[in-house]
Structure 1
Amino acid sequence: MAGLNVSIAFFFLVIGVCQALRWLSKRLLSPGAYVCLARELAGSLQLCTSCLELRMLAEIGMWGGGFGPDVVLTLLFLLFVLHGASFDGASANPTVSLQEFLLLESNLAATAAKLLAQGAGTGMGWAVTKLYWSWELTHFHLIQNLIASECSSSIHTSLHHAAFVEGTCSFLLHLVLLKLRQSRPMYQVPALAATVTFLTYTAEQFTGAFFNPALAMATTFRCSGNSFWDYIQVYWLGPLAGMLAALLLYQGNIPRLFRKNLLYSQKSKYKIPKARVVAHVEGEELRRKRKGEKNDSEPHA
């Protein structure tokens, strides 16, 4: 249990440091530089360090600490609630940034800057976590250091099935994101945390359930068992395809590429109730009849 307490303290320390980084950069940098660079870098750093430590607990804690997957899933949900509350609008996910670009919410330069910041943030997160593990504060970290050089791939199924799993997770995540875009944070944050927890519980046994290309690169691309191209297919092409499918299904088109709605017909914004239309037509017919009767009753000269 002491090892779990150390990990929880590490989570809070990382969130506190990243929050301080956001606070400082918001005051020193221009709004554009903060949104595109500092905010995404801090969010990716926070996400990567937390997920690496949590994955270590999931892999070693079951037999080294005696706690089951329910503990890890509970921590995952709570962490994503804290991430959602502290990220300050950062996505820390390349597919989300590309979705914003395709929705015309971000230009090419801003999107490229976000992708670079996300890559740098996850790289820093991996380095910080490795340094933290090298201190061997718990027996979990001691075991992790012993097996770190021989990590194996997170893909435990065929490549096509793995790409389909990551794509499906990304598809469902982006559908929820699109649906909740205008929602209040008090509803949006727990809904996204619950979605991520459910998808992780469902898909973890097949691919590790990343559905975040930057996070996957920092976590599993170095491991043996699959080639670099295999990882690209599963952890980049799969989530990108899922994002595009979710955007096309939700919007009916991809605004950056074409304006025409391919799936849904354009309907009038204002609809007249059918009963009102019928009543209006009947009223017009009655008015015409009365007018005709009046003309017939007038004497002819």
Structure 2
Amino acid sequence: MFDPCALWFEFTDDEGTERSFYCEGFVRVSGLGRRLDAVADGLCSRGKSKFSPAPVLWTSSIPVSVCVPAVHMSDLWVSVTVLGAVVALSELTRRTAALLPPGPGPGPGPGASSWLYLLEAASTFQLCGCTQELKLLGDTARLGPCAGLALTYTMTVVHISTFRGASCNPCGVLERMCRRSGGAGPALLLCACQFAAAVAAQYFARFVWSLGLSDVHLRHRRFGYRCFDPLGGTVPEAAAVELACAFTVQAAVMHVHKLDQRLRVHVIAAVITGLVYTGGAVSGAVFNPVLAFSIQFPCSGHTYLEYCFVYWLGPLLGMASCILLFEKIIPFLSGKSTIGPDVHAVHKQKTH
């Protein structure tokens, strides 16, 4: 029997490595244990990257994990509602934190008020919680590229507009520390708040999915909230993509002050959306260590150290190389001291 649908399935190869693939087209499923027998007139991919053209034939020893139909509008609206709930909850926390008395210092430091850390935690929770839902839509629902990119752009604009200066990125915290805008102790505390919020977003997402509000959530719950290999290329290739993405975002943030203030948010959102479209097939285009810790590290397919190499070292080197290029090398060659007066005041925000 041939069924038009999309398929997630996984198996362990001869070397003991877990493999996961996504196929869509017309599939023939045998009656014994719903095992994949053949794929005809379809396109198969590993993660989001093209793996091999159809027709492709596998033996019936490869088990089918789930047959994924096209996403229904009701499922999409449920996910949009979840995104709105995460933003509303985070905004409520930020408004509550704003009521706390400010500290004597202008930024994170020994005298800083706890509202700065609550702001960072609430904004990071919003970023990770929303991205959890967006990733689920992209991985397990046949969401078209136009709808996916539109959601990415819209949520990026929402994040940048509501974060109130929170970086939601350990690289941004380290940058401020290196610029001597804060000490090592407050920087470590900010990073701890970010990672705690990232873990909280994981638990929150699982709680929402456990409610079974949509078919997408039900399918994800049925298979134990598992996510598959997020890398569509080798580990060095993925790390290079993360480095390039972080470099590009850092460069955009360092120069966006030259534009009209009304355009800045949309320019950064457009850059991030373009990077997600371009590099998402290789690494997911996360370029944020704490966001990757929340959405990519729980996935199977690679070791913890490999994920650290891709999603932590890659963005850190990308940010550092961009700052070195635009604030040291180019000014040295041109005889100038800096690229602009507002660089120190700009905070990086990775949102998608």
Name the structure where strand makes up a greater proportion of residues.
2
2:98 counterpart of 1:26: yes
CA distance in 2, matches of 1:10, 1:268: 47
Residue pair 1:58, 1:69 contacting (<8 A) in 2 also: no
* Partner deviation per Cα, 1:129-161 (whole Å, 9 max, x = no partner): 110000000001011112345422211211111
Specify the code of the residue in structure 1 equivalent to 2:231: I
What is the match of residue 84 of structure 2?
Answer: 12
Find the structure with the greater CA-based Rg.
1
**Residue 264 of structure 1 is aligned with which of 333, 336, 342?**
333
- Indicate the larger mover: 243-252 or 174-183: 174-183
Residue pair 2:127, 2:159 contacting (<8 A) in 1 also: yes
Name the structure where helix makes up a greater proportion of residues.
1
Residue pair 2:177, 2:187 contacting (<8 A) in 1 also: yes
Residue pair 2:220, 2:226 contacting (<8 A) in 1 also: no
2:222 counterpart of 1:146: yes
2:128 counterpart of 1:52: no
SS in 2 for 1:45: helix
* TM-score with structure 1 setting the length: 0.80
* TM-score with structure 2 setting the length: 0.69
Task: Give the deviation of 1:263 after TM superposition.
Answer: 3.8
Identity of aligned residues (%): 29
* Runs of 5+ unmatched residues, structure 1: 254-260, 270-301
CA distance in 2, matches of 1:215, 1:268: 34
- Indicate the larger mover: 51-60 or 178-187: 178-187
**Residue 111 of structure 1 is aligned with which of 187, 202, 205?**
187
CA distance in 1, matches of 2:146, 2:265: 21
**Residues 47, 265 of structure 1: alpha-carbon distance in 2 compared, 3 angstrom cutoff:** same
What is the match of residue 178 of structure 2?
Answer: 102
Residue pair 1:97, 1:115 contacting (<8 A) in 2 also: yes
Task: Supply the RMSD in Å over aligned alpha carbons.
Answer: 2.1
Specify the code of the residue in structure 2 equivalent to 1:48: C
Residue pair 1:41, 1:117 contacting (<8 A) in 2 also: yes
**Residue 76 of structure 1 is aligned with which of 152, 165, 172?**
152
CA distance in 1, matches of 2:312, 2:290: 9
What is the match of residue 291 of structure 2?
Answer: 215
* Runs of 5+ unmatched residues, structure 2: 1-72, 104-111, 339-352
User: More relative contact order in 1 or in 2 (CA 8 Å, sep 6+)?
Assistant: 1
Task: Give the deviation of 1:7 after TM superposition.
Answer: 1.1
Please list, as runs of the form range in 1=range in 2, the aligned pairs for 1:229-244 lying within 5 A after superposition: 229-244=305-320
CA distance in 1, matches of 2:91, 2:258: 24
Number of aligned pairs? 258
Task: Give the deviation of 1:195 after TM superposition.
Answer: 1.0
CA distance in 2, matches of 1:34, 1:177: 27
CA distance in 2, matches of 1:138, 1:16: 20
* Partner deviation per Cα, 1:168-220 (whole Å, 9 max, x = no partner): 00010111111125766522211111111000001111111110111111112
Residue pair 2:100, 2:115 contacting (<8 A) in 1 also: no
What is the match of residue 38 of structure 1?
Answer: 118
CA distance in 1, matches of 2:144, 2:306: 31
Residue pair 1:77, 1:197 contacting (<8 A) in 2 also: yes
SS in 2 for 1:157: coil
